[in-house]
Structure 1
Amino acid sequence: MSRLFIFVFLAILAAGLFPQNGFAQDALATSPFDVEQASRAYIDTLTGDALEKSNSYFEGGYWLIFWGAVVGFLVDFLILQSRFSKRFRDWAERVTTRKWLQPGLYALPYTIAGFFLALPWSIYTDFFREKQYDLMSQSFGAWISEQMIGIVISLIIFPLLLMAIFAVIRRVPKTWWIWGTGIISIFLFIGMLLGPVFISPLFNEYKEMEAGPMRDRIVAMAAEYDIPADHIYVFDQSKQHKRISANVSGVGPTIRISLNDNLLERTDPEEVAAVMGHELGHYVLGHTWRSILVLASIMAIGLFIVAKLAPRLIAKHGVRWGVRDLSDPAAIPLLSIILTVYFFAATPALNSLIRVNESDADLFGLNSAKEPDGFAKVAMRLSEYRKIEPGAIEEMLFFDHPSGATRVRMAMQWKADNVEQPTMTKPGKLEKD
């Protein structure tokens, strides 16, 4: 499947914090409050096999970034080199003579072929590896069913995207990459507007959160920043995995606050408040719009590279591939290959840009919820599948969220600066369910 579509689709469906496992804690009267000592009290609860497992899972993900790019490259190269791309184009031209429709028709067999060629890799990375580390709740049948839903969504969205982009390639061949960036930005906006209402419910059941103290607190936190809280939903993500999650999604009339059932069932109220403070922060700080701007800028550079490089490659190898020019839908795998390499090279920069937003939301959440220990607990829960204490360069290159250690230290520093006569807590060890 095209890297371009994956970029758009993941941006549409991107969500927030995840984790699990419970805590016990006791208050210790310590004076004066030592930030590093208080931080180590949390960080050092992760030891032994649990620490080794967390590090192994996350560090393995470094290689998955590379091998995922290799797989994407090879899938598109196979479709291009085998001249299947030409056959898909020829089929589209037999079906219709309308130039504007041909890229959309081409997208159908191309998307299906890419999905099945990459399926063995997806099965390993997204199912078996998750099962290996006890992070997956689904059966294989349930998992593959959701993949089928995803491919159906792809077969609707991707053709529309390609028709729009190839229309501007034909009409403004010199500056198409600028207009293409605008088109992708529009798709991102529409996805954020409609995704919470029409896409998310295809994967999970959403129910209004029951009335009670926790809902009242979330409503009060949202009201403080004029965030619409008419709809607060709980969705059944425990059927898929054990991680916690929440988000403030949508635009205008589709704005909604959502929490997964894991967050309510596996955490304490102060942790829920800490997570919701973070998610409300994304909304108040305008991270949705900032993210669209950043993603559009990154995509603009990628499309500019495509505009400069693809015509040269087509001139040199187009006859062998059966690709006529850049406006030929058969060139789509080549565009995808270039973007795959580009996004792989841009991974550290993209991670850092996202991590800045997450750090800003962390601080907002601390100021909003005023639950530093709840926030520290959540940071530790994340350690089941995120390396807790990476090196500085490692965190910069591979982390799209601040590490657990960074977040715990932020929480304890906030506690030292904002809580009168703060006391250090002695967290218990992470408990298995």
Structure 2
Amino acid sequence: MTPFDLLAAAAANPGFDVETATRAYLDTLQGAARAKSDAYFEGGYWLGLWGTVIGVLVDWLLLRFRVTHAVRAFAERRSQRRAFAVWLTALAYLALSTAITLPWAIYTGFLRERQYDLMNQGFGGWLGELAISFALSLVFVPLLIMAVYAVIRRAPRTWWLWATAVVGAFAFAAMVVSPVYIAPLFNTYTEMEAGPLRSKIEAVAAKYDIPADHIYVSDASKQTKRISANVSGLGPTIRITLNDNLLNRTSEPEILAVMGHEMGHYVLGHGFRNVAWLLVVFGVCFFLVSVIAPRLIARYGERWGVRELADPASLPVLSAVFSVCALLATPAINTLIRTAESEADAFGLEAAREPDGFASTAMRLSEYRKIEPGPVEEFLFFDHPSGETRVRMAMQWKKDNVPGAEVVRPPAGYLDR
């Protein structure tokens, strides 16, 4: 649409008030439902802090009782290969830290989700999936740690830069293989049935040259009540996926609005861009580790049984420092992701042309996202635009692009579907 078209549309809608239209949606979430949503999201502000504190405490315990020192010494008695010592130390570190923090994982991942009525899954199913995730981490994380320690040994001054590149390579590989080999371990993916809705999704994809030979539906309802969709993979693994909650709980305009948003991530290259920016953050954190960790080891290394940074027994030191740096970088990470999400929102409105569907979806996400935060609160803690921001964007788009637009007042209770 040209600037002249925008002016014409705006002139054609002098009676359409964006604030009134926005408030009509926001006011559908009131009373206990809004208090519950706010409490869930605000409680999450503390989870990152306490999770970091618990993680650092675990690292300190492993150092205080010289656990990684003992594992590394055992590995060196069995083999002269440094890679074996790193691998075994990483394996033991993952197993012990996971076991110690299991109560925290149960609270944050299961009990709290059940408390706020966001989970459909029983404890046995949830624990089984946690075991699958743990098994995968035992396979892949030690490989990543081995690569990081290899570059520490070979480039002691610039290892932080090479470690960032290593993380980037692992992230790229994960983007390629995850949709085909990892995601099916947790959910069943079936081809979306042919019909008018699929044809409309394919039409939107075709406008932007998005491969749509396969559109999958995942059975996420066995785990959660959340609605979701994505365009994932790279090259031959690219696929469009929406979960069954989106199909069963929302209307066609809402589904098309969500799919337009997700296609925006693909067209705008957010997968690569987000990884690139996150690697910048990782690089800064690794650099800080390269400065702080050696000083800690110089002061406490003998007490911990850690000889140097390249000693795999130093793994808890690296982990603790990196965790604190990552926590401090949370606002920057949130801003990077939130910016991409806002761009995808704008793209999705143009692609699907369903502003009321988009606004309705933004309100549905209020089940677990605070709908009207303050500006500082949104900057610090939101990795997506708030519901208020999204609804207002949709209503502004409607005013600018839909001749004769009228304020829609959603029916009471529509969010309960």
Give yes or no for TM over 0.5: yes
**Mapping 1:327-366, distance limit 5 Å:** 327-366=310-349
CA contact (8 A) 1:177 1:303 kept: yes
Alignment partner of 1:381 is 2:364: yes
What corresponds to 1:123 in structure 2?
106
Q: What is the CA deviation profile of residues 151-185 of structure 1, one whole-angstrom value per residue up to 9, with x for unaligned ones? A: 00000111110111111111111111111110000
Q: What is the CA deviation profile of residues 177-209 of structure 1, one whole-angstrom value per residue up to 9, with x for unaligned ones? A: 111110000000000000111110000011111
Alignment partner of 1:417 is 2:417: no
What corresponds to 1:25 in structure 2?
none
**How far off its partner does 1:100 sit?**
2.4
**How far off its partner does 1:421 sit?**
1.0
CA distance in 2, matches of 1:421, 1:326: 67
Q: State which of 372, 376, 391 in structure 2 corresponds to 1:393.
A: 376
**Mapping 1:12-411, distance limit 5 Å:** 32-411=15-394
Could you tell me which runs of 5 or more consecutive residues in structure 2 were left unpaired when the two chains were aligned.
1-12
CA distance in 1, matches of 2:172, 2:210: 19
Could you tell me which runs of 5 or more consecutive residues in structure 1 were left unpaired when the two chains were aligned.
1-29
**Matching residue's letter, 1:298:** V
CA distance in 1, matches of 2:131, 2:407: 49
CA contact (8 A) 1:314 1:325 kept: yes
What corresponds to 2:5 in structure 1?
none
Q: Residues 231 and 95 from structure 1, CA distance in 2 versus in 1: closer, same or farther, beyond 3 angstroms? A: farther
Q: Tell me, what secondary structure is at the counterpart of 2:216? A: strand
Q: Residues 384 and 284 from structure 1, CA distance in 2 versus in 1: closer, same or farther, beyond 3 angstroms? A: same
CA distance in 2, matches of 1:39, 1:95: 67
Q: Tell me, what secondary structure is at the counterpart of 1:426? A: coil
TM-score (norm 1): 0.92
Q: What is the CA deviation profile of residues 8-30 of structure 1, one whole-angstrom value per residue up to 9, with x for unaligned ones? A: xxxxxxxxxxxxxxxxxxxxxx9
CA distance in 2, matches of 1:94, 1:229: 55
**How far off its partner does 1:280 sit?**
0.3
**How far off its partner does 1:31 sit?**
6.3
CA distance in 2, matches of 1:292, 1:414: 29
CA distance in 2, matches of 1:31, 1:345: 46
Q: Residues 33 and 166 from structure 1, CA distance in 2 versus in 1: closer, same or farther, beyond 3 angstroms? A: same
CA contact (8 A) 1:88 1:110 kept: no
Q: What is the CA deviation profile of residues 60-82 of structure 1, one whole-angstrom value per residue up to 9, with x for unaligned ones? A: 11111211111111111111111
**Matching residue's letter, 1:364:** F
Q: Tell me, what secondary structure is at the counterpart of 1:233? A: strand
Q: What is the CA deviation profile of residues 236-270 of structure 1, one whole-angstrom value per residue up to 9, with x for unaligned ones? A: 00000000010000011111111111010110011
Q: What is the CA deviation profile of residues 257-299 of structure 1, one whole-angstrom value per residue up to 9, with x for unaligned ones? A: 1111101011001100000000000000010110111011000
CA distance in 1, matches of 2:208, 2:80: 54
CA distance in 2, matches of 1:430, 1:68: 36
Runs of 4+ more than 4 Å apart: none
CA distance in 2, matches of 1:278, 1:266: 18
CA contact (8 A) 1:58 1:387 kept: yes
Q: What is the CA deviation profile of residues 15-63 of structure 1, one whole-angstrom value per residue up to 9, with x for unaligned ones? A: xxxxxxxxxxxxxxx9600000000000011001001111111111111
Number of aligned residue pairs: give it: 404
CA contact (8 A) 1:318 1:325 kept: yes
**Identity among equivalent pairs (%):** 58
TM-score (norm 2): 0.95
**Matching residue's letter, 1:252:** G
CA distance in 2, matches of 1:430, 1:363: 27
Q: Which has the higher contact order (CA 8 A, sep 6+)?
A: 1
